[in-house]
Amino acid sequence: PRSYAPAPLSVAHLLDTPPPDPDNVTVNGFIRSIRNQKQRSFASVGDGSSLEPLQALLTPEQAQNLSTGTAVRLTGSWRPSPNPKAQSHELHVVGLDILGSADSATFPLQKKYHSPEFLRTIPHLRTRTPFNSTLLRFRSQSIAQVTDFFAGRDFTQTHPPIITSSDCEGAGEVFSVETAEKGRATAESDGSFFRSPKYLTVSSQLHLEALAQSVGSVWTLSPTFRAEKSETARHLSEFYMLEAEVNFVEEMEEVMSLVEDMLRHLTKGLYNSRVGQELLHGKRSGDQAEEASKRSEELERRWQGMMSESWPRITYTEAISLLEPHSEKFEHVPKWGSGLQAEHERFIASTVGNGQPVFVTNYPKAIKPFYMLPSSTDGSRETVDCFDLLVPEVCEIVGGSMREHRLEPLLSSMREHGLIPPNASSAEDLGTLKWYIDLRRWGSVPHGGFGLGFDRLLGYLSGVPNIREIVTFPRWVGRCDC
Ligand code: 4AD
Ligand code: MG
């Protein structure tokens, strides 16, 4: 006989593996829904470990005070279900403890379909829904996969700063950092805490370049902030960017292959994981059978594309010539020299890719940041060694480039971009990026890297159309609720 209570099993564990002692099972979880009949009640119980709930069989007396959201500890026996199509086993409850009650009259999450717009109004509760908790586990598993990939390639994971003194991308979309009571912290200085304007980082790239000169190849998955007033399904003010920087690399193709290998490794790992399969084939709340199978098919296509070899690589100039014959389809006329709009990227991704992500390389120099290395191809049109990776619907998920590693050309590019005065001579003239220029003075070698919009990638792989559902507490223009 036991003298101690068995340790609780997670719902996922129970659904996947026969319990060691089927007649003595304990589970902690939350009631998702309850269905009462005359003789017995059926509760659907989840604990966030599984998209699928377990079914618990109770007496009407046991079920009396249970409602959606109640936290319970259930003990009982795990028995084959009479309806194996719905679930293979069910829990015949013997003991029930209510650990946390929930008033069904006020609890906003009920057993019914809640729209994404409604759930966005309660981000502190929405992660309790089966699908949103699955997205949390998906993110965690994705981080485990990229960590594994980079460790296998001897990359060092680093923590670059969040507060910076420069705008890496030069797009003027930085949030500035102030103390709540301006001036109080440094009474004797010019009134600001850091003595000069500081910003939340828009990219860790410049700092990663410094670190790559120290340990070779580096990566980070860091919070990134952009004050873009874009109210699209792809833009957030705060998001996670996965960035890597490789030193001693001559060819941009190598950096693109690194991106490919990383995303292939990540997707394969997810494909073979429980949570990956839940997202590909699991039932989501509000699903109609037909729509669910369509979604599964589409997701399989996306994942197979990510796991495939040799993704198409075309130049920006080629992209423009593919777009031009279809000009009338677009709101913005595609033209050499202008950036690719989302509608253009969508067209390229779906027509060139055939399910595979597509690299577009060598954009015009004039529309790209100061740090990019000019391409060594034809001299008539100035382009830089850069690339974007495009996928259907979500469009750009990665941006990368070779960096200008030579001192003099970097200084001229910075002059052209107005980052330093035309005839800068003293150290002060070099401004807030003096440290970055320094990197070119001692032991500078060809290098390059990329940044992956992590939340965009997760949205693409999970088939969630809006990035606001991918991030737990999303922030965008006009919205930062809790
Ligand atoms: O293309 P971006 O601007 O590239 C850089 O910042 C480089 N310095 C990265 C590097 O080379 N280390 O941003 C990289 C990716 C984009 O491709 C996009 O997926 C994502 O970051 N991104 C956003 N994701 C969500 N919300 C936003 N507002 C985003 N802006 C960019
Ligand atoms: Mg970009």
> Given this model, what pLDDT does residue 466 score?
97
Q: Atom 9 in ligand 1: which residue has the minimum CA distance?
A: 451
Query: Which pLDDT score is estimated for 378?
Result: 61
Residue 228: nearest ligand to its CA?
Answer: 1
Q: Which atom of ligand 1 is nearest to the CA of 457?
A: 19
Q: Residue 172: what pLDDT?
A: 85
For the chain, what's the residue count? Answer: 482
DSSP annotation of 368: S
Provide the CA 274 distance to its chain's centre, in angstroms. 19
Residue that finishes a domain, picked among 112, 144, 176? 112
Q: How many CB atoms lie within 10 A of CB 291?
A: 11
Which one of 167, 205, 241 would you pick to mutate in the ligand 1 pocket, going by the greatest count of ligand atoms within 8 A of its CB? 241
Percent of all residues in the chain with a pLDDT value above 90, rounded to a whole number: 86
What CATH number should be reported for the domain holding residue 31? 2.40.50.140
Pocket probe mutation, ligand 1, options 231, 340, 456, max atoms within 8 Å of Cβ:
456
Q: At what angle do helices 252-271 and 454-462 cross, to 10 degrees?
A: 50
pLDDT for the residue 305: 97
> Are 75 and 133 within one domain?
no
Nearest to 185 by CA among 194, 177, 193: 193
Q: Does residue 419 register a pLDDT over 60?
A: yes
Identify whether 71 is part of a domain.
yes
Q: What is the mean pLDDT of residues 436-450?
A: 97
Q: Give the ipTM of the model, two decimals please.
A: 0.99
**Structural domain includes residue 353:** yes
To test ligand 1's pocket by mutation, which of 203, 206, 386, 479 has the most ligand atoms within 8 angstroms of CB?
Answer: 203
How many distinct structural domains can be found in the chain?
A: 2
Q: Whose alpha carbon is nearest atom 29 of ligand 1?
A: 235
Q: The domain spanning residue 460 has which CATH number?
A: 3.30.930.10
- Tell whether 170 is covered by a domain: no
Q: Which residues contact 426 (CB under 8 A, 6 or more apart)?
A: none
* Residue 307 Cα to ligand 2 middle (Å): 23
> Which ligand is closest to the CA of 398, given by its number?
1
- For residues 393 and 242, give the distance between their C-alpha atoms in angstroms, rounded to a whole number: 20
Measure the N-to-C terminal CA separation of the chain; round to a whole number of Å. Answer: 50
**412 within a domain of the structure (yes/no):** no
CA distance 318 to 300: 29
Whole-number Å distance between alpha carbons of 390 and 357 = 6
Range(s) of the domain holding residue 96: 11-112
140 within a domain of the structure (yes/no): yes
What is the model's pLDDT at position 187?
Answer: 47
Residue 70, exposed/middle/buried by CB under 10 A (0-12, 13-18, 19+)?
buried
**Atom nearest to 245 CA in ligand 1:** 12
Report which of residues 380 and 79 the model is more confident about: 79
Instruction: Tell me what the pLDDT averaged over the chain comes to.
Output: 94
Nearest CA to ligand 1 atom 2: 399
The pLDDT, as a whole number, for residue 168 is: 85
Which of 164, 224, 359, 461 maximizes ligand 1 atoms within 8 Å of its Cβ, making it the mutation to test the pocket? 224
Share above pLDDT 70 across residues of the chain, in percent, rounded to a whole number: 96
Q: Give distance in angstroms: CA of 75 to centre of ligand 1.
A: 49
Domain membership of residue 358 (yes or no) is yes
Q: Which of 80, 112, 144 is the last residue of a domain?
A: 112
Dist. CA 404–CA 374, nearest whole Å: 8
C-alpha 262 to ligand 1 mean position (Å): 17
Residues 300-318 pLDDT 10s: 999 999 999 999 999 999 9
> Which atom of ligand 1 is found nearest the CA of 205?
12
For residue 461, pLDDT over 70 is answered with yes
Residue nearest to atom 27 of ligand 1 (CA): 235
Q: Can you give 94-142 as a three-state secondary structure string?
A: EEEEEEECCCCCCCCCCCCCCCHHHHHCCHHHHCCCHHHHHHHHHHHHH
Same domain, 224 and 319: yes
